Chains A and B, each alone.
Chain A
Amino acid sequence: MIKEIVDTRTSPRKWFGIKPKFLIGSVIIVGALLFLVVAGTLSSAQYYLSVEELYAKLPQLNGRQVRVTGAVVRDSIVYDSSQLHLTFSLADDQAAKSRTLKVEYFGPKPDLMLDEATAIVEGELGQDGVFSADNLLLKCPTKYEEEELIGSQGSSSIDIP
Chain B
Amino acid sequence: MLVEVGLVALGLAALATLYAMGAAVASTRARDGGQLLESARNAAVLTFPLLTVASLIVIYLLVVGDFSVHYVWETSSHSMSPFLRVTALWGGQAGSLLFWCWVMSGFIAAALFRGWERDRELILWVIVVTTGTLLFFEVLVLFQSNPFVRFWENPVTGEVVQRLFAPSGAVLFTAFEGRGLNPLLRHFGMIGHPPTTYLGFTGFVIPYAFAMAALITRRGADDTWIKLTRRWTLVAWAFLGVGLFLGGRWAYDVLGWGGYWGWDPVENAMLMPWLTATAFLHSIMIQEKRGMLRVWNMILIILTYSLVIFGVFITRSGVVGSVHAFSTSAIGPLFFIFLATTLTGSIYLLWRAWPTLTSENEIESFLSRESAFLLQNALFLAVTFATLWGTIFPMISELVTGDKITVGPPYFDKVDGPILAALVLLMGIAPALAWRSDTVQRLARVLLLPFSGACVIVVTLFVLGISQPAALIGFWIVTFAGLCTLIEFWRGMRGRQKRHQENAVLALWNLVRRNRRRYGGYVIHLGIVILAAGIIGSKGFQQNAQANLANGETMRIGAYELRYEGLSRRAGSDGRDITSANMGLYRDGARVTTLSPRREYFENYEQTSTVAGVFNGPIEDVYVLLVGWEGSNATFKVYVNPLINWVWLGGVVMTLGTLFVAWPGASTQRRWTLKPAAGPRKAEG
Contact = CB atoms under 8 A, between A and B. Distances in A.
Contacts of B618: none
26 contacts: A4-B358, A17-B292, A17-B361, A18-B362, A29-B378, A29-B379, A40-B390, A40-B415, A43-B411, A43-B414, A48-B404, A48-B406, A108-B256, A111-B184, A112-B607, A120-B323, A122-B408, A141-B182, A142-B315, A142-B325, A152-B604, A156-B177, A156-B575, A156-B604, A158-B575, A160-B569
A160 B571 CA distance: 7
A44 B323 contact: no
Contacts of B256: 108, 110-111
A127 interface: no
B414 A22 contact: no
Interface string B598-621: 000001101111100000000000
A17 B321 contact: no
Interface residues of B, number: 92
Interface string B613-632: 00000000000010111100
Contact of A84 (B329, B389, B546): B546
Interface in B142-165: 151, 160, 162
Given A21-B366, A40-B415, A144 B184 contact: no
Interface centre among A25, A46, A83, A160 (most CB of B within 10 A): A46
Contact of A36 (B255, B296, B419): B419
Contact of B323 (A81, A140, A156): A140
Contacts of B359: 16-17
A76 interface: no
A78 interface: no
B394 A48 contact: yes
B325 A140 contact: yes
A69 B175 contact: no
A19 B411 contact: no
A17 B606 contact: no
Interface string B199-226: 0000000000000000000000000000
B405 interface: yes
A149 interface: yes
A96 B588 CA distance: 58
Given A8-B358, A84-B635, A150-B160, A144 B93 contact: yes
A47 interface: yes
A48 B358 CA distance: 47
Interface in A126-150: 137-146, 149-150
Nearest to B609: A111
A81 to B, nearest CB: 2
Given A109-B628, A144-B92, A17 B415 contact: no
A103 B417 CA distance: 32
A1 B356 contact: yes
Contact of A144 (B176, B326, B374, B379): B326
Given A29-B379, A36-B415, A118-B325, 13 more contacts: A4-B358, A16-B296, A17-B359, A26-B378, A29-B382, A40-B390, A41-B390, A109-B628, A112-B184, A139-B325, A144-B96, A150-B73, A156-B604
B363 interface: yes
A60 to B, nearest CB: 10
Contacts of B257: 110
A95 interface: no
A136 B77 CA distance: 32
B558 interface: no
A33 to B, nearest CB: 5
B633 A82 contact: yes
B577 A160 contact: yes
B362 A19 contact: yes
Given A47-B403, A143-B327, A155-B177, A109 B627 contact: yes
Contacts of A142: 185, 266, 315, 324-326
A141 B185 contact: yes
Contacts of B418: 36
Interface in B263-299: 266, 292, 295-296
A41 to B, nearest CB: 6
Contacts of B571: 158, 160
A83 B627 CA distance: 10
Contacts of A8: 355, 358
A141 B160 contact: no
Contacts of B323: 120, 137-140
Contacts of A144: 74-75, 91-93, 96, 182, 326-327
Contact of B414 (A39, A46, A49, A81): A39
Contacts of B355: 1, 4-5, 8
B188 interface: no
Contacts of B366: 21-22, 25
A77 interface: no
Contact of A143 (B175, B325, B363, B608): B325
B608 A111 contact: yes
